[in-house]
């Protein structure tokens, strides 16, 4: 086997290995209002506007990537948030920014 063929095989194997480790999640940005803070399930219930390329406006629960996010917001807070969609379609808030904070209310 020539060196060129070995090199091509090596590069092909490396490409296959690296592609199997890459998780290509999709990210979306949205804006909404926090309706409930669900500490035990690590979720926020948010009434949000349309999420371009994903869904229309609605009220729903979103899991947070970092439980510390739950203590950053309060019920009634207006937030801008980033959603990550994994290969199975699960949505997780990976980042959030408080646009307007309301009076702090205890988490559930």
5 domain-assigned: no
Domain count within the chain: 1
**74 burial via Cβ count (<10 Å: 0-12, 13-18, 19+):** middle
Domain extent, residue 54, equals: 26-100
pLDDT at 58: 97
32 domain-assigned: yes
pLDDT at 41: 97
14 domain-assigned: no
84 domain-assigned: yes
pLDDT at 20: 44
**Residue 89 belongs to domain with CATH number:** 2.40.50.320
pLDDT at 103: 61
What are the pLDDT tens digits along the chain (108 aa)? 688 777 777 776 666 655 544 445 799 999 999 999 999 999 999 999 999 999 999 999 999 999 999 999 999 999 999 999 998 889 999 999 999 887 655 455
Name the residue among 63, 97, 56 with its Cα closest to residue 77.
97
Question: 9 phi and psi, to 5 degrees?
Answer: -65, -45
Quick check: 64 and 36 in contact, CB under 8 A?
no
83 domain-assigned: yes
Beta-sheet pairing, 26-38 with 78-85: antiparallel
107 domain-assigned: no
CA gap 25, 84 in Å, rounded = 6
Secondary structure class of 44 (helix, strand, coil): strand
38 domain-assigned: yes
pLDDT at 17: 58
pLDDT at 15: 60
């Amino acid at each position: 086997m020539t060196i060129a063929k070995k090199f091509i095989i090596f590069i092909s194997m490396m490409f296959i290995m690296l592609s199997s480790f890459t998780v290509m999640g999709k990210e979306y940005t949205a804006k909404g209002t926090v309706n409930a803070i669900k500490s035990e399930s690590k979720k926020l219930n948010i009434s949000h506007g349309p999420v371009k390329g994903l869904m229309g406006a609605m009220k729903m629960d979103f899991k947070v990537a970092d439980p510390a996010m739950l203590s950053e917001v309060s019920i009634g807070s207006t937030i801008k948030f980033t959603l990550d969609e994994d290969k199975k379609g699960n949505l997780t808030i990976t980042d959030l920014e408080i646009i307007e904070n309301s009076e702090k209310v205890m988490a559930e």
